[in-house]
Structure 1
Amino acid sequence: MEVIKMSKYNTIEVWNKIFGNKTEIYDYAGRLIKKSACGNPYSKFFPTIDHIRPLSRGGCDILANIIICHRDTNEEKGDSFPHWMANGRRYLAMRIRGTRNEYEIYEQE
């Protein structure tokens, strides 16, 4: 399995593009992450970059396929796609109609 690590600069760059000036948000699984924790893996609010469709499963390394989520959410999802569990909930990624590489994440009941 290939592991790709993103630098603090890249995480902050992606954060700024997605969340602008927000300093903290909840990821799709409901976990709090903070911009100030970028690059600090010891923080309980550590944000990570995750590919919705993993590169190992044919995903592209483009912004449309990237989300920022809590380290624990990322670890629980791993390389699972299109179904996975995170924070005790089930999720499904579906390609956005009319696109080739953009996905939306839906919580399943």
Structure 2
Amino acid sequence: MANSNITKEKAEKIWESYYGTQTRVKDFAGRTMNKSAFNNRKSAFGWNIHHVKPISLNGSNDIENTIPVHILSNSEFGDKNSAKVNGTFYQWQKMPGKRTAGIIYELGEDVILSPNKKFIKNKK
């Protein structure tokens, strides 16, 4: 989820660490974002900062644990370990050797939620 203590200036530095000078890009879930639409919930291209490993799970504000994402993608993922975002299932996993950062993995569309709340591939 967006963290209110990330300023626009820090968010733009995070953007530039991922996208350089590009001003229009797609997030991990395929949604288009405009650099000028930071935190603009009225824009179809609004974006904010997602914490790959949620702050609530001891994630950090370090650049390696933050990623610019479309506002809708951030809202759908929230503070969960895994979620369906823009029609596809994703899960974060701890980065090797890092205590406060993670990586988002795409699990795909053919995934179901098992009784223990873990995503598993659907056997068709």
After TM superposition, the score normalised by the length of structure 2 is 0.76
After TM superposition, the runs of 4+ consecutive aligned structure 1 residues lying more than 4 A away are: none
Aligned partners of 2:25 and 2:32 also within 8 Å: yes
Structure showing greater Rg: 2
Unaligned segments of structure 2, at least 5 residues: 109-124
Deviations 1:31-90 (A, max 9, x none): 000112124332110111010111011111211110110000000011101x11111110
Cα distance in 2 between the residues matched to 1:74 and 1:26: 13
48-57 vs 92-101, which moves further: 92-101
Q: 1:104 to 1:39 in 2, by over 3 A?
A: closer
Q: What are the ranges of 5 or more consecutive residues in structure 1 without an aligned counterpart?
A: none
Aligned-partner Cα distance in 2 for 1:96–1:7: 25
User: For this pair of structures, how many residues does the alignment match?
Assistant: 106
Which whole-Å CA distance do the structure 2 matches of 1:38 and 1:94 have between them? Answer: 26
Q: Percent identity?
A: 32
Q: Do the aligned residues in 1 keep the contact of 2:59 with 2:101 (CA within 8 Å)?
A: no
Distance of 1:57 and 1:99 partners within structure 2 = 13
